[in-house]
Amino acid sequence: MTHAFYVYASYGIAALVTIAVVLWTWADGRARRRELASLEAAGIRRRSARPKDGE
C-alpha cells in the first residue's frame, strides 16, 4: 500500500481545521458586531469613536 491514504487524510484534516477556524472567526465577528451594536444602543461609546456634534 502506498502512502496515499496518509497524504489524503492529512490534507483532509488540514482542510477541515482550516474551514473550522474560518467559520469560528466569522461567527465570532458577527457576535462582536452584535455586542457592539447593543452597547452603542445603550449609549456606551468607544473612546476612539468621534463624538457627534453637540456632545
User: How far apart, in Å, are the Cα atoms of 36 and each of 7, 12, 27, 42, 51?
Assistant: 43, 36, 14, 10, 16
Q: Using alpha carbons only, give the angle 17, 22, 26 rounded to the nearest 5 degrees.
A: 145
Contacts of 54 (CB under 8 A, 6+ apart): none
Tell me what pLDDT residue 12 has. Answer: 98
Tell me what pLDDT residue 54 has. Answer: 56
3-class secondary-structure state, position 46: coil
pLDDT in tens, 15-38: 999 999 999 999 999 999 999 999
